[in-house]
Structure 1
Amino acid sequence: AVGDTTQAAAQFAGLKQRAAAQLERAQQQPDAALADYRQAMAASGIGDGDNVSRLTRNNPQDDWLKRSIRSDTADLYRQQDTTLMLEQDYSRNKGTAGVSDFSAHTTMLQAETPLADGRGFLRLDRVQISAGTFSTTNGTFDETFGSCDDANSGGCSRYASQRDEGTALGVGWSNEVWSADLGTTPLGFEVTNWVGGVSWKTDVKEVGVTLTASRRPISSSLLAYAGARDPAANGGKTWGGVVATGGSVGLSYDRGGAHGVWADISAHQITGENVADNSRERLMAGYYYKLINSDNRRATVGLNTMLWHYQKDLSDYTFGQGGYYSPQSYLSFSVPVTWRQRTGNWSFDLGGSVSWSHSKTDAQQRYPVNPGFTLASNPSSASSSGGGVGYTLQAVIERRVTPHWFIGAGVDIQQAKDYTPSHGLLYVRYSAAGWDGDLDMPPQPLTPYADFK
């Protein structure tokens, strides 16, 4: 229209090749699509060469067409790559030895490969967990656990060391719309469960919507995650191994500008072997503002809130309890701050938050499930409420050693009333095709299979 036919011809050539590549990708012809993306790069002036992944790196001087071609090519290239990732994860929450103390060593191995216009994965998690060893007086446990406090239990002296280990298996598949997985809690645990989930993503006008149905373990204690055997002399029954089954609706609004909001509402039934049934409803929402919003740097500050409700408090460790945090009401507000940045071969994510929370729990029976013994008494605890201020600190960093090899490390610390978990990880990732484009911002370490959403 303005008479610059040279520029018009260059843009048309790039658009034509890009459109051809998009059609070929939709027809599940990734090799042909990548070849046309190469030609689109050359025609639009991005460049030509064997190292296509390096040409996908963003350039602040790009016009909209070059930016789109780089982004589309990078997405397809990485979708077609086969990767192998090994990660060592350690978490610790200090508590009462033998009961609420918890530490977990998780070695994760995940292989991913292109599959039917998406990516499939195979996952193995080797898990070793411990709640420590009970303190004893005259050979019997000092802490109430299982049915040890029952007058007819015969006392508790067995299984003083609370440890377990096993291997979790998982397979899954995902693309831009669907994701699904199916697996197990660690085989070898006292209690093992089938777990998995399926999610569907769509847009309703400018709002992102994610619908999820899942069955996931609660992994906050040895009793909840692995289950335990009643150490009472007249006991011997197994209980625990808790799972949450239900669904959630996630909402998000972020058009790439300075502001973003999100929300998640969920409802789950919580069950376990010889554990009283429970229900959980959670509403979480947040707002964030991008103080810096560029391709390679981002700084945000936000405000999050959470409102939880559990039908019953099953946080104790006697027979029939679940050993997981389950207040009848929980309200919190937090102010998170994050800084993310990447360079040619480095990417890091630093963050922290301050929070205020308040919770209330109702009275609970010591033994909510009849273990088959004649109980001398089944008293109820008193209701309680309280709150306080907490904080979190976290950091994750990744380094590209070569286009095929990447290493990373991370740590996070949380501090709140009666809850002080710490967590650290190390990982190495191998890319079969090699990746010399932009690193993920933030880095993407593996999540333990027990913590999938």
Structure 2
Amino acid sequence: YGTEAWGRVVRRGFKGSLSLAPASDHVLYIEAGYDSYTGQNVMENQAVSGTIVFGRSIPGQKAELFVGGALTAMAFEKNTNHYTFGHGGYFSPQSFISLGPSIRINSRPCKTLWFDASASVSYLSHSTDSTPQYPFNQSGAPGEFEGDSFSGGGFSLKGEVRKLLAPKWSLGASFNYDKSSDYTQWQAGLGLRYLMEGRTAVSP
């Protein structure tokens, strides 16, 4: 495989969500999604995910505070969390569960500056199946990456801010950080957004 390239994984999918208010200051949020993963000379993969959040919303003049708990579950069809030919190199557990308290604060979407920040501490449990070292190996040569499992604590930090520069232009930045004793994952982004219609306030 020395002369062949692999990678360029692309994720495509959809999500659906439902928000309920069982009481005036309490919120129940349910989300479910499906994603497919394809790439160049890598295993095709698919995943399902779901999240349930319940907590109390505390409104303020400039921002809203949410305190509650969340349960997240996710499952990938295949373990392709390696970097040999045929693997996608992304975290793809066959089972993943996260449960714990969280706090979130976000500004009201009627200002020229909008922000959304959250932090959570959780109990994590995930496992992966054994997978071939070279999934497209036609010679029948043996070789597998062993599956593993993990249970323990973790935390997550997420933030996004967006500023309206002009009626049709906004500048935004985002940051996600997830940490457990088993893995660390982070991403950051900066983007300029053009709006088809002019606005006087910024929104997510």
Summarize the alignment of residues 272-421 of structure 1 with structure 2, pairs less than 5 Å apart: 272-290=39-57, 292-294=58-60, 296-341=62-107, 346-370=113-137, 374=139, 377-399=141-163, 407-416=171-180, 417-421=182-186
For 1:402 and 1:278, how far apart are their aligned partners in 2? 41
Change (3 A) 1:317 1:409: closer
Identify the structure with the greater helix proportion.
1
Matches of 1:267 and 1:411 in 2, distance apart?
Answer: 23
Q: Whose radius of gyration is greater, 1 or 2?
A: 1
Contact map agreement 2:175 2:186 (CA 8 A) in 1: no
For structure 2, list consecutive stretches of 5 or more residues without a partner in the other structure: none
Separation in 1 of the partners of 2:198 and 2:52? 39
Q: Give the distance between the partners of 1:279 and 1:398, measured in 2 at CA.
A: 32
| Cα gap change, 1:284 to 1:382, in 2 (>3 Å) | same
User: CA contact under 8 A between 1:412 and 1:424: conserved in structure 2?
Assistant: no
- Pair 1:311–1:432, CA change in 2 (3 A): closer
| 1:414–1:422 CA contact under 8 A, matched in 2 | no
Q: Secondary structure of 1:275's partner? A: coil
Question: Cα distance 1:419–1:273, how it changes in 2: closer, same or farther (>3 A)?
Answer: same
The Cα offsets for residues 304-329 of structure 1, whole Å up to 9 and x where unpaired, read as 11122222211111122222211111
The reply on whether 1:425 has 2:190 as its aligned counterpart is: yes
For residues 247 and 430 of structure 1, what CA distance do their matches in structure 2 show? 23
Amino-acid identity (%) = 25
d(CA) in 2 for partners of 1:247 and 1:408? 23
Q: Structure 1 regions of 5+ residues with no counterpart?
A: 1-146, 148-231, 445-453
Provide, for residues 361-407 of structure 1, a one-character-per-residue CA deviation record: whole Å limited to 9, x for no partner.
1211111113x6x47x3311222111332222344444556667655
Q: Work out the CA distance in 1 between the residues paired with 2:45 and 2:33.
A: 14
In 1, the alpha carbon distance for the partners of 2:39 and 2:196 equals 40
Q: 2: CA distance between counterparts of 1:249 and 1:401?
A: 31
Cα deviation for residue 300 of structure 1 reads: 0.4
Whether the aligned pair in 2 keeps the contact of 1:280 and 1:308 (CA below 8 Å) is yes
Indicate the SS of the match to 1:318: coil
Q: Is the 8 A contact 1:367 1:378 kept in 2?
A: no
Contact 1:407 1:429 (C-alpha < 8 Å) held by counterparts = no
| Alignment RMSD | 3.3
Distance 1:388 1:346, change over 3 A: same
TM (norm. structure 2) is 0.77
- 1:410 Cα deviation (Å)? 4.3
Superposition map of 1:22-421 within 5 A: 147=1, 232=2, 236-244=3-11, 248-254=15-21, 257-290=24-57, 292-294=58-60, 296-341=62-107, 346-370=113-137, 374=139, 377-399=141-163, 407-416=171-180, 417-421=182-186
